[in-house]
Chains A and B, each alone.
Chain A
Amino acid sequence: MKRIKRVFVANRGEIALRIVSACEELGIESVVGASEADMQGLAARRADRTVCIGPGPAAQSYLRDDVVVQAALGTGCDAIHPGYGFLSESPKLAARAQESGITFVGPPAEVIELSGDKLRAREEAMRAGVPVLPGQEVSSDAETRNVADTIGYPLLVKAAGGGGGRGIKLARDADELASLLTLARSEAGAAFGDDRVYLERFVANARHIEVQIAADEHGAVVHLGERDCSVQRRYQKVIEESPAPGVEPATRNALTAAAVAFARAIGYRNLGTVEFVVDADTGEHFFLEINCRIQVEHPVTEAVTGRDLVALQLHIADGEPLGFTQEEVVFDGHAIECRLNAEDVAHGFMPSPGTLSLFSVRELLQLRVDTHLCAGAVIPPYYDSLMAKLIAHAEGREATIDVLLEALEELDVEGVETNRTLLISVLGHDDFRRGAVTTDWLERAIV
């Protein structure tokens, strides 16, 4: 590393630990900014230094861009890694860091801003020749009716400031649309500070396939293959894999080419993920959005490409060239990740915070476990319920599934409720084992 010697980790949980590990590997220092609730966490204990940035609730700690930059400055850090969630896609943090002479590990603030505006991102995609779903912003009632009639029902109402599966509502007919539009606008305004909404065609049999891209500061843009994240509940991913099962080489090539073209068109820098919806009936693909951060599911790409994506983020932020060409990105085997969450599946997936009296995952040759937890650790009530990511990497898909099943069956966990049983039933389900499921499959299957 040339410029970056000390990285401020503006996150918590497994991704904070993941970034600390990447810094260790690269021989650079890490400073974790932890909330009061996370001061005893593994990331906080493993970092070279930890500072308490505020009380437990995220609004007073992990979401304070001013405090994060002040903490980075005060601890002599030259870069900020925002992880995922929290401030990872905040143009304000990126801009503030830059103004303070600190490298933001991610794209420039303008690119984050463009990507966060889903309507602008759609326009840019169209301009770059990337297919988008029929759709349009709507403001008046008359306009809404016209646009909806053109698109056809059912359709989705999406918040322009949303993304990541948030701010989406399904309208099956004109009455339903009329009744939820006002609510959608006020919710969007409250949640994202932007009450613009747009209508978009709903693909009934949809698969969620995303492409990992990497762009350096010198104009090189490559892709690192795709991930299928169709096993979802309420637009939140549960299981992710690479390569996407049952995708024709022509479709895969079209997706990766579209992702690279889009990234180039918007002047993207660093790692990002271009999300597509693929119509399982026709094979058509449509641009959904670009995520300007490391993804939760990045380990499946790391497994099949053999590349450390967090280290790559830091190298790119340091101004280094990618160091490899598209041809040098080779794919090996199959990888699947499942997210073990502290939630009570039987009671509406209620988060289940608490103290882990027991937590141990058996070591298996083809298994990677990314977790910040161990027996005795406390899962605080303030944050998401992700406990661990189990990532299996084997020769074929069947064998990969079996590794995950073995790991889940042998998992010891007590003290909180988890979704372990749900994960086991998905991985063992005939539909899943056969290959491609669609994004509505899980919710239909668990009812």
Chain B
Amino acid sequence: MPLSDEDVREILRIIDESGVSELRIDTEGFSLHVVKGERRLDATAPTHTPRPRDPEPTISEQQPADGVVTIPAPMLGTFYRAEAPGKPPFVEVGSTVEPDTIVCIIEVMKMMNSVPAGVSGTVAAVVADNAQLVEYGQPLFRVEPA
């Protein structure tokens, strides 16, 4: 979908009038990332510090190194690294991934949900345990972006 200058101005106007501070649109053949104003994350941070509660050991023990991206669990379920028992894992440490590369399966009541990497790069670590329950948002993999 080719965009004219006018389209871009229209999009910016709509974003400007909305309460949105950052927007990312990714569709086929079109990618838009807009950040409104200066990046001042402090301004939107909550005024109180949430008390941390017993995080999963896999989360707390492996802090991401600079520049490393996390692939979080898109849903709660059982984490499977391979399509079936005995099959090779979808990815290993060192595997190259593209945004649509399937990296694992999360099972929710017999429904197998394929999880794409959502990022390009090299798998640096697998941080969730195979066949275990993962929570929504729990880190599954660390990826060094390409």
Residues of A within 8 A of B (CB): 33, 36, 39-40, 44-45, 50-55, 61, 66-67, 69-71, 74-75, 96, 100, 355, 376, 378
Contacts and interface: CB of A to CB of B under 8 A. Distances in A.
B46 interface: yes
A96 B109 CA distance: 9
B46 A53 contact: no
B108 A67 contact: yes
B48, B75, B135 interface centre (most CB from chain A within 10 Å)? B135
B133 A52 contact: no
Interface string B47-65: 1101101000000000000
A61 B108 CA distance: 13
Contacts of B109: 66-67, 69-70, 96, 100
Contacts of A61: 136
Contact of A53 (B76, B78, B111): B76
A199 B58 CA distance: 57
Nearest to B132: A74
A70 B77 CA distance: 6
B70 interface: no
Contact of B46 (A44, A51, A55, A355): A355
A71 B53 contact: no
Nearest to A378: B46
Contacts of A69: 109
Nearest to A356: B48
B138 interface: yes
A392 B28 CA distance: 60
A66 B138 CA distance: 18
Interface of B: 46-48, 50-51, 53, 75-78, 107-109, 111, 132-133, 135-138
B76 A39 contact: no
B139 to A, nearest CB: 12
Contacts of A378: 46
Contacts of A33: 76
B53 A53 contact: no
B115 to A, nearest CB: 15
A54 B47 contact: no
Most buried by A among B50, B75, B77, B78: B75
15 contacts: A40-B50, A44-B53, A51-B76, A51-B135, A53-B136, A66-B108, A67-B109, A69-B109, A70-B133, A74-B76, A74-B77, A96-B109, A100-B109, A355-B47, A355-B48
A416 B46 CA distance: 15
Nearest to A415: B47
Contact of A54 (B48, B107, B133, B136): B136
Contacts of B53: 39-40, 44-45, 50
A54 B76 contact: yes
Nearest to A51: B135
Given A36-B136, A66-B108, A74-B76, 17 more contacts: A44-B53, A45-B51, A51-B76, A52-B138, A53-B136, A67-B108, A67-B109, A70-B77, A70-B107, A70-B108, A70-B109, A70-B133, A71-B76, A74-B78, A355-B48, A376-B48, A378-B46
Nearest to B73: A52
B137 A36 contact: yes
A39 B136 CA distance: 11
Contacts of A66: 108-109, 111
B51 A40 contact: yes
Interface centre among B48, B50, B107 (most CB of A within 10 A): B48
A52 B77 contact: no
Contacts of A74: 76-78, 132-133
A74 B50 CA distance: 26
B46 A52 contact: no
Contacts of A45: 51, 53
Given A36-B137, A67-B108, A54 B75 contact: yes
Nearest to A65: B109
A378 B48 CA distance: 10
Nearest to B135: A52
Nearest to B56: A51
The 5 A-B pairs with the shortest beta carbon distances in the complex, nearest first, are A74-B133, A66-B109, A52-B135, A40-B50, A376-B48
Contact of A52 (B47, B50, B108, B136): B136
